[in-house]
Amino acid sequence: MNLAAFALYLVFLLVAFGYRTLVQWRRTRDTGLRLDAGPVGGLRWWAKIGFLGAVGLCAAAPVAGLAGLQPLPPLDFPVLRWAGVVLAVAGIAATLAAQLAMGDSWRIGVDPAERTALVTGGPFSVVRNPIFTAFLAGCAGLTLMTGNVVAVLGFAALLAAIEVQVRVVEEPYLHRTHGSAYTAYTTRTGRFIPGLGLLRHR
């Protein structure tokens, strides 16, 4: 199952980053990649470093499993492995669907000087960050497929990195850029899970 997890991980990266970037380029002649993380040591820089480190840990998990690292006992059940396959495949598909729903506004990273349309329809009417929700679901599936300590640490690091990216980088940017429209959106739409993470504003 470790080999299958590694193969799905590569597919995940190709679909979520490679294919979506190609689609964006064909549509707009812009890759949508905003890779500048700002000054070293700044909040955007730490958020990006944390995300890249977490993604690296997630990749290392099936490699460690292939090298002989055993699953943790609570995760060492065939039914969890197969549940992980289903969750990983669903997460990959949902990640791509949510990315495509952003249309020309899709970006990886934040350019503080840039203004794109605020997307609130489709999956974005259910949660504010459906791409991250789907990405976490897919990575949770890969974690179940591998089941070792590296996989668990990788998922925990990814969750923490996404929380920092959303709360510290993206939400302040969207508040500055879209003002009351984004404020109203945050009061009725959950952050990652419907109904949870609503923001109350005076």
The structure's pTM equals 0.92
pLDDT band at 201 (very low <50, low <70, confident <90, very high): low
CB-CB contact of 98 with 15 (8 Å): no
CB-CB contact of 95 with 131 (8 Å): yes
CA distance 15 to 8: 10
Q: Give the tens place of pLDDT for each residue, 74-120.
A: 999 999 999 999 999 999 999 999 999 999 999 998 888 899 999 99
Task: Domain ranges for the chain, please list them.
Answer: 2-188
Q: Give the tens place of pLDDT for each residue, 23-69.
A: 999 999 999 998 887 888 888 888 889 899 999 988 999 999 999 99
10 Å Cβ neighbour count for 32?
20
CATH number for the segment(s) 2-188: 1.20.120.1630
CB-CB contact of 71 with 147 (8 Å): yes
pLDDT at 202: 54
Q: In degrees to the nearest 10, what's the CA dihedral of 192, 107, 154, 140?
A: 50
Output the DSSP codes for the chain.
-HHHHHHHHHHHHIIIIIIHHHHHHHHHS---B-----STTSHHHHHHHHHHHHHHHHHHHHHHHHTTPPPPGGG--HHHHHHHHHHHHHHHHHHHHHHHHTGGG--BS--TT---PPP-SGGGGTBS-HHHHHHHHHHHHHHHHH-SHHHHHHHHHHHHHHHHIIIIIIHHHHHHHHTHHHHHHHHHSBSSSTTSSPPP--
